Amino acid sequence: MFLNEHAAEGAARFGVSPNELTFIGGFQNFIYSYINGDSKYILRFTPSTLRTWKGLAAEIEWIRYLSENGLPVSEPVSSIDGKDIERVQGNTIDFYVTSFRHASGRKIGYSECLGNALLYEQCGRITGRLHELSKRYKPTLRRHTWKSSCQIQRINSV
């Protein structure tokens, strides 16, 4: 259902040539990376059957809040029209397109944290800061809760 033409249209909405996209994976989403200037970015295509526009907007609002409060996150990037989310029409389903600045650093495994006391402490500080910010967060948009998601899955399984 997801075609190259969808990727090309979504990329164009964020000012990116389809030739600059590198597919890096996908399970529920279709994820591409691209480079603009000296920075690396992510372009994510989410099927409209899996997430709502409102849910994605709430996610972006949350990530921006974390960034504005000093947490190192992958910041959302607006499209060339200034939108956080673009909608690309498909034949049977649509896709929501979002872009994020690639997080700096590299992926760290759990075993590497255990062997590095300084890194382990830094992870704890960031997690503590995340909890602190979560308590103070006053969202204007809300996404589904995991509890409601699990209930929907149980109902669909019956």
Residue pLDDT, tens place only, 19-70: 999 999 888 899 999 999 899 999 999 999 999 999 999 999 999 999 999 9
Q: Quick: pLDDT tens for 103-133.
A: 888 888 888 878 888 988 988 999 999 999 9
pTM of the model: 0.83
DSSP labels for the chain?
Answer: ---HHHHHHHHHHTT--GGG-EEEEESSSEEEEEEETTEEEEEEEEETTT--HHHHHHHHHHHHHHHHTT-----EE--TTS-S-EEE--SSS-EEEEEEEPPSS----HHHHHT-HHHHHHHHHHHHHHHHHHHH---SS----HHHHHHHHHHHH-
The predicted structure's pLDDT at residue 147? 63
pLDDT for the residue 4: 84
Asked whether residue 12 carries a pLDDT value surpassing 60, the answer given is yes
Q: What local confidence, expressed as pLDDT, does residue 108 receive?
A: 82
pLDDT of 1 reads 78
The mean pLDDT of 69-74, rounded to a whole number, is: 93
- Is pLDDT larger for residue 8 or for residue 114? 8
